[in-house]
Structure 1
Amino acid sequence: MPAAPATDPPLLEIRDLRVHFRTPAGVFEAVGGIDLDLTPGEVLGLVGESGSGKSVAMKAVLGLLPPQARVTGQIRFRGRDLLTLPEREMRRLRGGRIAMVFQDPLTAFNPVVTIGDQIGEMLWLHDRALSRRQLRARTEELLALVSIPEPGRRIGAYPHEFSGGMRQRAMIAMALANDPELLIADEPTTALDVTVQAQILDVLRGLQARLGIGLVLVTHDLGVVAGMAREIAVMYAGRIVEAAPVDDLFAAPRHPYTRGLIGAVPRPDGGGRGPLVAIEGSPPGLTERLSGCAFAPRCPLAAARCTAERPALRALGSGRAACHFAGAPAPAAAEAAR
């Protein structure tokens, strides 16, 4: 992302983040050297297909990856490198100053413990001086904050007694329990119908604006971040292929993959366009060793140079893009690729 102004230092600063997994078949790279900045009170959209590495990168921020993962680079929160912190200090930050909303609240919640007790436990872990009465009052306050009706009654419900949308709201309430400065929302609208998706996004948008939280919104849907994020970073095969302010990215996408994602988003009014255009093929697997651009096998502009030379992420206008033809308009780029 473009560097943050000197007067407003980054809340979260990621530099050359790489994540490798050790498996019986060898060591594979899931995240291949990404840079991200998030300033306080802003919203960053992290977009890409399933398997692009976006969730792995965010779990690395919180230290939630399994033991077979090796994480290198720098992850700075308020200037502190999280990769060098002892686990005891990370536990204070995790769920405290940094929180995460997971994409499947049904599996994230303990099915045999009430919603109220699980939120209360999160509060108690970070402030053990709280009494039972204080824990209950704060839990009801949090459920009301995310617009769950009758919080005093719902506090004793189990996860299966909540609808999908209410479980997601409760997960947001748990994440907000200790007034975090940074909130990572990992696919918060997955598996929800369109109406409930809109409600969840409204909750996140209102809370972020009211509380001044820095928010990383992880999603595969560009439409989700269009009305929320100030900047968008597009990931493909473990790397950022384009990053730009949201208006500029939608008005003039530089990377063919970004153009493909935008072209695949349906518009309610039809937008005067023809049928939606799918991106042919599939993303590369972790075991594939590609010397050139990872998107080349699916790219309509791919040339011999694309399969032989990996493009660097370079500055273009207000953003950055990793494409040999990113500096040219689409028609000119197509001509150059022939």
Structure 2
Amino acid sequence: ADAGRQAFVLLTSVIRAHLEELFPGRKVEAFSQFRVTRDSDLEVDEEEIANLRHALRSGLTTRHFGRAVRLEVVNTCPAELSEFLLEQFGLPNAALYRVNGPVNLVRLNELIDQTDAPGLRFKPFEPAWPTGRLPRHKSIFEKLKKGDVLLHHPFESFDPVVQMLREAVLDPEVLAIKQTIYRTGAKSELMDLLIEAARRGKEVMAVVELKARFDEEANINWAERLEAVGAQVVYGIVGYKTHAKLLMITRRENGKLRRYAHISTGNYNPKTARLYTDLGLLTADADLTADADSVFRQLASLGKFKAPRRMLLAPVNMHSRMIELLAQVEAAALAGYR
């Protein structure tokens, strides 16, 4: 490359240029990049197996050998080579995709960090703590007694959620913490805080979704660590995924119990909270927290479920309420409103 300029080359191009050295004494007839996509779903019959966690852990060992569903090759790949690959993977011609360029563009993400071109990058963005609505270094519980706080990620920081849970763990007046776990990652301060809460003698309940695709192993490991310190771990309702994002804290105040909750559209994952657009509500509202408590009771005991006061919950009342709201919009449109 010229002085002051950078140059990059794909590893596949290097390999192609040295094929004769890699296979000395042989004539290279054809060369092509290819990528195969496999079905990575872990198939288990929840009603038949005795231990879902053990069944999923066993399935993780064979995930990389799932049934092939798609074959991608470069558009210069000879027909005899693509036909050979289709035969090897047991795929029909309809599963073949010819690509004009590298078959794995994800690798180009590395250029973002390796390229010396600061003028092409956005300035780093740091999510803001909502100081006006939630003063730093003051009790979040005291603030929520006065009113709810709505967080808009990733523009606003996820730190208040972590701080709320940390405050609950350290507060001797907090008796119980209940949380749903969907995608939290292999390393999680939130999970570490739940474990610490259990060690401090608080009642901790975690609803862990073991079938969160590609997070099964992390969730299984967290479930085992939580159980090891005495936390109650449940896996939701057979036939459904627990996709709700709920955190509920029960605190003793002046001889009575008061609940606080975090209700969110986003996972309890500080890393993805910096990337995805989500809303999170911190609240001490009596009706909302009572609904949250009912959800956790249902997930833990599968007892009779009371109709939520304010929450829309699938598969209980969300669908019917959405139909009602759509009917209102339809009626307004027919009446000439815009």
- Do they superpose with TM above 0.5? no
Q: TM-score normalized by structure 1?
A: 0.26
TM-score, structure 2 length as denominator?
0.26
Structure ranking higher on relative contact order (CA contacts 8 Å, 6+ apart): 1
Higher Rg of the two aligned structures: 2
